[in-house]
Amino acid sequence: MREITPRKIIEMKGKEKIVMVTAYDYPSALIADKAGMDIVFIGDSLGMVVYGDESTLNVSMDQMVYHTRAVAKAVKRALVLADMPFGSYEISLDEGVRNAVKLIQAGADAVKIEGGADHYELVKKLVRMGIPVMGHTGLTPQRYLRLGGYRLMGETEEEIEEILRDAKALEKAGAFALVIEFTLSDVAKLVTEEVSIPTIGIGSGPYVDGQVLVWHDLLGIYESTPPFVKKYADLKSMIQLALEEYRNDVKEKKFPGQDHYWEFLDKEEFEKKKRRAMERLNRSERNGEAE
């Protein structure tokens, strides 16, 4: 069992901020874990930042299982959380259970489900089975078509009521935490005060119990990022400069240098081995032609 468990995350509420970051492959997860992340999250955002899709709606269970398995192999300390992609749990309770089991078997410690009250029974069922669940309210990207795009949530009384209802339903169903995405900070603060489980914000201000960001956003791998993201690096420029330098070195015959390859120190020995190898090769080719 990894050091950070759902119970540990619950105990951090009001005491220590929870830090969560996405990762989609082995090397990224290895770095995230060594950096001290509390939760390493395989989000369905991989559809957009890894596969270049315009939304998360095309992400499949096979993709989530594949990336979860890679991340789980790398993480030794943090809690490994995997997203339930669109269509993997809405069709039926049984379908949702089967797909959650697949992610746990791939190495996840818990699963995340978008939505609240409408998935109460599924969350309750999974928790009873022993599968920890994180909920997700506020902006739910899998429902962006109904919401009218990726927009700030919590501006109306109806939205505030819905977000609170979802949060309380998730808590009652047994979720150990919930994400609040792109929601007015006042509303995120209200939810955080109204539930006993930790809230983890993304674009929802400082009054939550923790924060999550997408790997590619915070590291500056893409030029365009959501307005709520703080870029902690400009890896795009660094990577591009490194690749350009590599290209130039190859074109100008500077790479590989003498430190990057090996050769026979005894040239006479090499000539003898080369001659014998060539003789055997020629003999083999002649025999092949004769046949």
As annotated, the active-site residues are 181
What does each C-alpha distance from 265 to 202, 255, 274, 275, 278 come to in angstroms? Answer: 59, 21, 14, 17, 20
> Angle 172-174-179 (CA atoms, 0-180°, nearest 5)?
90
State the angle between helix axes of 26-34 and 61-74 in degrees (0 to 180), rounded to the nearest 10.
50
Three-state DSSP class for 72?
helix
Helices 93-105 and 120-129, axial angle in degrees (round to 10): 40
Angle at 78 between CA 204 and CA 100, to 5 degrees: 80
| Nearest CA among 112, 100, 115 for reference residue 40 | 112
Q: What is the dihedral of CA 60, 95, 141, 48, to 10 degrees?
A: -10
Taking the C-alpha atoms of residue 32 and residue 22, their distance in angstroms, rounded to an integer, is: 9
SS3 for 229?
coil
**Three-class SS state of 197:** coil
- Alpha carbons 220 and 70: distance in angstroms, whole number: 23
What are the DSSP calls for 106-117, one per residue?
A: TT-SEEE-SBSG
Q: SS3 for 175?
A: coil
Question: First-to-last CA distance in the chain?
Answer: 62
